[in-house]
Amino acid sequence: MPHLMNTYKRLPVAFTHGQGCRLFDEQGKSYLDALAGIAVNTLGHNHPRLVKALGEQLGRLIHTSNLYRVGEAELVSDRLAAISGMDEVFFCNSGCEANEAAIKLARLYGHQQGIEQPTVIVMEQAFHGRTLATLSATGNRKVQAGFEPLVTGFVRVPFDDLDAIEQLAARNPNVVAVLFEPIQGEGGINIAHHDFMRSLRRICDQKNWLFMVDEVQCGIGRTGIWFAHQHAGILPDVMTLAKGLGSGIPIGACLAAGRASGVFKPGNHGSTFGGNPLACVAALTTLDVIADDALMLRASTLGDRIRDALRNGLADVGGLVEVRGDGLMIGVELDRPCTELVALGLEAGLLINVTADKVVRLLPALTMSDAEADELVSGLVPLIKKFLEAK
């Protein structure tokens, strides 16, 4: 047995290399990758531009620390500001760290307004990470159980429910921010209505709350636009990013705008690795390739193609609840727990995921070809059919 701590129930396969949307295991078997390392490998595996840029950076400079200026981080911050309309960026190494930064920023913002017990509104089925603050913000008891006492300062409402937030606005003077995912990933591909986001934006303005979006999974072009909240035509005060930003090189970011900018001062927050030259070159190259190769349009049309084909293929099958999503965030909800589909997919050479027990989740690279998308659907439809008919 390897000496790994037992935190994951892993599938019995190890990959040795990848190319585009294909992964190859130790036996040389090939798999179609419809998960992309959980929405991380934005450009697929072994992308030539990423490999070249990272290779050159490795030979130049990997890390210097944030005690000095980091030119590559300055460049990524400018690029992120340009595509998001946000003002400033804090770099870290993961999604939970980005959300920790957002939660700390909201608390400090509250204290600066004289609110001594600042409270952040969070949502049911939310996933914000595994650190103590972010698991406390997460709306899934399984993530929290055993780790009490939880971090206080959160109040939970149903997802996409404006009434519940209006009630809190009327009676809770400690609220300083709302944190939510425009599209919940781990929670089962649940999409916040654009009207909800616009109304919430108005409430936040009236109440001086921070409008904070966790785009760790749905951001970076995946839904056919740089950031999923942009579909609603609004600008958040805080946005967090990670997963797809570095195409596999760990990097996270917490962005601030408007009344959230300027809250952190030297000494308030930090990260040893955050925004190092290597990670920033990964982010810069990822953003460049998405723009140069029109991968957002690709995500949008490919996502529609896959959803349409899945709806057609599963049209007369009992047990399908809904095919939903936006761009390349795709959920197929069944009427029963279906985790075993992951192992069946693996056997069939298809890498898929199941989340929230009943939702088959697809998060392929933005570089997936039409032929690969069709292969994905023609592999997945019979698997789901067989599974539903067997029970």
The tally of CA atoms less than 13 A away on the side-chain side of residue 308 is 7
Q: CB 382: neighbour CB atoms within 10 A? A: 11
Q: Is residue 324 classed as helix, strand or coil in its secondary structure?
A: strand
CB count in 10 Å sphere of residue 315: 8
Q: Which is nearer to ligand PLP, 190 or 372 (CB)?
A: 190
Nearer to ligand PLP, 217 or 230 (CB): 217
CB of 38 to ligand PLP, least distance (A): 7
Write the interaction track for ligand PLP spanning residues 226-245; mark x where CB under 6 A is met and - where it is not: ----------------xx--
Q: Which one of 34, 54, 86, 96 is in contact with ligand PLP (CB under 6 A)?
A: 96
What is the distance between the alpha carbons of residues 138 and 135, in angstroms, rounded to a whole number? 5
> Of 48, 91, 186, 77, which Cα lies nearest the Cα of 129?
186
CB of 145 to ligand PLP, least distance (A): 18
Residue 362 in the binding site for ligand PLP (CB under 6 A) = no
**Terminal-residue alpha carbon distance, the chain:** 35
Applying CB under 6 A, among 186, 326, 333, 372 the residue interacting with ligand PLP is: 186
Task: Write phi, then psi, for 295 (nearest 5 degrees).
Answer: -75, -15
Q: Tell which positions 323-342 bind ligand PLP, by CB under 6 A.
A: none
Residue 282 binds ligand PLP (CB under 6 A): no
Token duo for residue 50: 């990423």
Q: Give yes or no for residue 100 binding ligand PLP (CB under 6 A).
A: no
217 binds ligand PLP, rule: CB under 6 A: yes
Asked if 129 interacts with ligand PLP (CB under 6 A), we say yes
**Site for ligand PLP contains 181 (CB under 6 A):** yes
Report, in Å, the least distance between residue 93 CB and ligand PLP.
Answer: 8
Cα distance between residue 178 and residue 176, in whole Å: 7
- Segment lying near ligand PLP (by CB under 6 A), choices 111-119, 127-135, 262-270, 335-343: 127-135
Residue 225 vs residues 82, 83, 120, 288: alpha-carbon distances, Å: 14, 10, 27, 14
Closest C-alpha to 274, from 88, 103, 67: 67
Residues that bind ligand PLP (CB under 6 A): 94-96, 99, 127-129, 181, 185-186, 214, 216-217, 242-243
